[in-house]
């Protein structure tokens, strides 16, 4: 076993690797950028080395600096985590050339599976079924459009390098092919440095089912059963589970046999995942699955496999890379129970899952799993940490396991309802809604489920009078009394014969709320709300709802929903310029990738004005109304959240 390893990653996966290394007595070296100088993974590691500024191109993608850090600290091996350089064969070559060990597959294996088109040709030769489509080298638009017509619409354009839904577009009609291809190429180039694509038949009711495989350097390869990752938004996974619901013995055998065959075809060593697309339109059948791609690394969702197989896949990685054989044979790997993983992101589900930033002023996870269940919280952040625009906005992975799917699903819903996050917009309410969706609960899930139900899943009921009153109570400072048996002391000016009310202002979205908080003779608080929330609510000090107060705000939690109210500073002057109409502001920090109109142009409502790239994804900014362009951001400019992107001529609006 290694004495010391360097982890070429950040966030929750770096923390995850550190925990297993510590269990095995292996010392760890963390690397960090400027933005991560005070991060959790830096604090947890035995040593830490600064490798550059915040952008990934100047830090976590600098293989030369990472190798130099490993050599300088005496590390024997490098664990890549996932993302960044984990599937970069040139980085593997760098590591090996420096006399270090790469904790993962060989560069040859990564190259064999790194490009989707070449990988599919290889799998066809190995006898593994692949999705019908064009996987060739030629990239002329006329040829690709012709192949799309031959395949038959709808088709899927996919970047041949990388994954995570980047560079992927579904095309319903030939007239839309050219625009979709251009957009997919731009996004693929930005994310992977390679704008080449392949074109495949779009499966009408696709299930995304993947098989965890593991190989060693002695020619052994096994599978650890399957995971279902069909619950996706924008081609990115949201909730994963193991095993796949509705899986039949015949399909499981066919898929796992094909997965092991794929791994052996490239002499694979380490953790890997073979991803299949399954046509579920007529139920799960053994002849209706096809190879999509192989991820030559540890997957984000690996904890669900660990829960149902009783393994530590990171430990297996370290043991295999250090020269040991696989810890178990195929016959020794058993499947038991059911597990779910929910990815908690800083994102606005109601606004098309736009990534969000902010400081995690309040962060509280469940203290224990539901009865009869197990739970893991995989995170790389703490309360007070910031979600920056430089990296993936994942906050945590909430992982639960139980004896069967129903029990595990109930444990997941309970855990989500007990999670409290304030300071950034998060997706916990959406995850809870998905976990309660009738089709999802029945196991009738495919990759289009979230899209079909998106309006319902992202809809949050407005705050009730009780919620608003609780926020007003918190904003007034009344519930912050240090003595729970003396609520009077928290309201200055209390009079015995006539209660003195404290006037409190709140803002929820665009709504201004005025409340009057006073103490009743019986020791409870009374909150009276002005229009449009007319009503009076009485609160017992000893039964204050779950809430968090943070600078200028109060968040009240009801189940998995966090209602955030702004608490205006009465001394602050309004910014008339910021409140002016006729402008469009950036919904998140990003790069103005493409500008489609110019100053003086007349535009109509819904017309695309520019494309904003954030977190390696493209977001189209469209006109909210008819009008004339007075100003527009410069192509290639970097903008922050709230930056004015477009100004309209006021009298030019329709």
Measured distance CA(417)–CA(436) in Å, rounded: 12
Q: What strands, in cross-sheet order, belong to the sheet with 77-79?
A: 47-52, 27-33, 4-7, 77-79, 101-102
Strand ranges for 461-575 from DSSP E: 502-508, 511-519, 525-529, 535-539, 547-550, 553-558, 561-566
Going by DSSP bridges, is the β-strand pair 627-632/638-639 parallel, antiparallel, or unpaired?
A: unpaired
Measured distance CA(242)–CA(226) in Å, rounded: 6
Measured distance CA(578)–CA(575) in Å, rounded: 5
Measured distance CA(387)–CA(346) in Å, rounded: 8
Question: Do the Cβ atoms of 603 and 609 come closer than 8 Å?
Answer: yes
Alpha helix stretches (DSSP H) within 505-632: 576-579
Question: Do the Cβ atoms of 651 and 602 come closer than 8 Å?
Answer: no
Predicted pLDDT at 161: 84
Verdict on whether the full-model pTM lies above 0.85: no
Listed as ranges, residues in the chain with pLDDT below 50 are 480-498, 541, 571-580, 652-654
Measured distance CA(337)–CA(179) in Å, rounded: 46
pLDDT, tens digit (0-9, with 9 covering 90-100), for 570-613: 544 333 333 345 788 887 778 899 999 999 999 998 898 998 88
Measured distance CA(352)–CA(614) in Å, rounded: 13
Measured distance CA(512)–CA(463) in Å, rounded: 13
Predicted pLDDT at 570: 54
Active site (annotated) includes residue 297? yes
Measured distance CA(121)–CA(291) in Å, rounded: 11
The residue assigned the tokens 């992101």 is 345
Q: CB 497: neighbour CB atoms within 10 A? A: 5
Question: Helix/strand/coil (H, E, C) string of 382-438?
Answer: CCCCEECCCCCCEEEEEEEEECCHHHHHHHHHHHHHCCEEECCCCCHHHHHHHHCCH
Measured distance CA(6)–CA(72) in Å, rounded: 11
Q: Specify the DSSP class assigned to residue 148.
A: H
Predicted pLDDT at 537: 65
Task: Provide CB contacts within 8 A for 324, sequence distance 6+.
Answer: 216
Strand ranges for 243-360 from DSSP E: 270-279, 289-295, 338-345, 347-348, 354-355, 358-359
**Segment holding 468, helix H or strand E:** helix 465-476
Beta bridge partners of 132: none
Taking phi over 0 as left and psi of -120 to 50 as alpha, with beta for the rest, 283 belongs to: left
**Segment holding 11, helix H or strand E:** helix 11-23
Going by DSSP bridges, is the β-strand pair 644-648/638-639 parallel, antiparallel, or unpaired?
A: unpaired
What's phi and psi for 640, nearest 5 deg?
-105, 170
Q: Kindly tell me the sign of the dihedral angle through the C-alpha atoms of 33, 38, 41, 42.
A: positive
CA distances to 116, 157, 203, 208, 236 from 172, rounded to whole Å, are 22, 11, 12, 20, 20
Of 413, 349, 340, give the one whose Cα is nearest residue 378. 340
The residue assigned the tokens 């970097």 is 638
Question: Do the Cβ atoms of 166 and 236 come closer than 8 Å?
Answer: no
Measured distance CA(651)–CA(654) in Å, rounded: 8
pLDDT, tens digit (0-9, with 9 covering 90-100), for 241-276: 999 999 999 999 999 999 999 999 999 999 999 999
Of 30, 49, 50, 27, give the one whose Cα is nearest residue 40. 30
Question: Do the Cβ atoms of 66 and 51 come closer than 8 Å?
Answer: yes
Of 15, 5, 2, 4, give the one whose Cα is nearest residue 44. 15
Predicted pLDDT at 574: 36
Alpha helix stretches (DSSP H) within 98-140: 107-114, 116-126
Taking phi over 0 as left and psi of -120 to 50 as alpha, with beta for the rest, 320 belongs to: alpha
Cα angle: 473, vertex 474, 478; to 5 degrees: 65
Which of 160, 185, 196, 297 is labelled catalytic? 297
């Amino acid at each position: 076993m290694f004495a010391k390893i360097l982890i070429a990653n950040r966030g929750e996966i770096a923390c995850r690797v550190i925990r297993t290394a510590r269990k095995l007595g292996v010392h760890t070296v963390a690397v960090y950028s400027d933005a991560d100088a005070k991060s959790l993974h830096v604090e947890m590691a035995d040593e830490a080395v600064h490798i550059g500024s915040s952008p990934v191109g100047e830090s976590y993608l600098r293989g030369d600096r990472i190798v130099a850090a490993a050599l300088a600290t005496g590390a024997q091996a490098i664990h890549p985590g996932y993302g960044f350089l984990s599937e970069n064969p040139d980085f593997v070559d760098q590591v090996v050339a420096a006399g270090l060990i790469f904790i993962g597959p060989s560069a040859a294996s990564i190259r064999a599976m790194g490009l989707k088109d070449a990988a599919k040709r290889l799998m066809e030769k190995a006898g593994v079924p692949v999705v019908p489509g064009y996987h060739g080298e030629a990239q002329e638009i006329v040829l690709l459009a012709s192949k799309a017509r031959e395949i038959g619409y709808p088709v899927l354009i996919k970047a041949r390098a990388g994954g995570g839904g980047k560079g992927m577009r579904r095309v319903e009609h030939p007239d839309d092919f050219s625009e979709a291809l251009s957009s997919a190429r731009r996004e693929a180039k930005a994310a992977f440095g390679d704008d080449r694509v392949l074109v495949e038949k779009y499966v009408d009711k696709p299930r995304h089912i993947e098989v965890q495989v593991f190989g060693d350097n002695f020619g052994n390869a096994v599978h650890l059963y399957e995971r279902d990752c069909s619950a996706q938004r924008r081609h990115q996974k949201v909730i994963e589970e193991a095993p796949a619901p509705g899986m039949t013995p015949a399909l499981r055998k066919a898929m796992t046999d094909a997965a092991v065959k794929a791994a052996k075809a490239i002499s694979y060593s380490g953790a890997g995942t073979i991803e299949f697309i399954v046509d579920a339109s007529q139920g799960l059948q053994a002849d209706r699955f096809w190879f999509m791609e192989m991820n030559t690394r540890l997957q984000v969702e690996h904890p669900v496999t660990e829960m149902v197989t009783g393994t530590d896949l990171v430990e297996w990685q370290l043991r295999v890379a250090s020269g040991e054989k696989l810890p178990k044979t195929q016959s020794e790997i058993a499947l038991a129970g059911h597990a779910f993983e929910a990815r908690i992101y800083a994102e606005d589900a109601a606004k098309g899952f736009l990534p969000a930033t902010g400081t995690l002023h309040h962060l509280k996870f469940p203290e224990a799993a539901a009865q009869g269940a197990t739970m893991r919280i995989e995170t790389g952040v703490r309360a007070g940490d910031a979600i920056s625009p430089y990296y993936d906005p994942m906050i945590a992975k909430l992982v639960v396991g139980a004896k069967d799917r129903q029990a595990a699903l109930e444990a997941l819903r309970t855990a989500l309802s007990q999670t409290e996050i304030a300071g950034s917009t998060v997706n916990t309410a959406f995850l809870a809604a998905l976990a309660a969706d009738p089709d999802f609960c029945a196991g009738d899930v495919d990759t289009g489920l979230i899209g079909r139900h998106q309006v319902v899943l992202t809809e949050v009921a407005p705050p009730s009078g009780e919620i608003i009153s609780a926020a007003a109570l918190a904003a007034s400072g009344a519930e912050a009394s240090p003595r729970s048996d003396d609520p009077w002391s928290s309201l200055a000016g209390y009079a015995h014969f006539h209660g003195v009310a404290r006037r409190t202002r709140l803002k929820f979205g665009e709504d201004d709320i005025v409340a009057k908080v006073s103490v009743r003779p019986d020791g409870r608080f009374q909150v009276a709300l002005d229009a449009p929330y007319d009503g009076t609510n009485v609160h017992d000090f000893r039964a204050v709802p779950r809430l968090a107060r943070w600078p200028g705000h109060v968040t009240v939690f009801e189940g998995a929903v966090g209602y955030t109210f702004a608490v205006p500073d009465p001394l602050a002057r309004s910014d008339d310029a910021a409140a002016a109409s006729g402008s469009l502001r950036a919904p998140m920090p990003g790069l103005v990738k493409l500008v489609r109109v110019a100053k003086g142009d007349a535009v109509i409502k819904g017309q695309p004005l520019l494309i904003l790239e954030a977190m390696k994804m493209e977001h189209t900014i469209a006109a909210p109304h008819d009008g004339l362009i007075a100003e527009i951001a410069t192509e290639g400019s970097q903008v922050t959240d709230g930056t004015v992107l477009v100004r309209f001529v006021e009298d030019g609006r329709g």
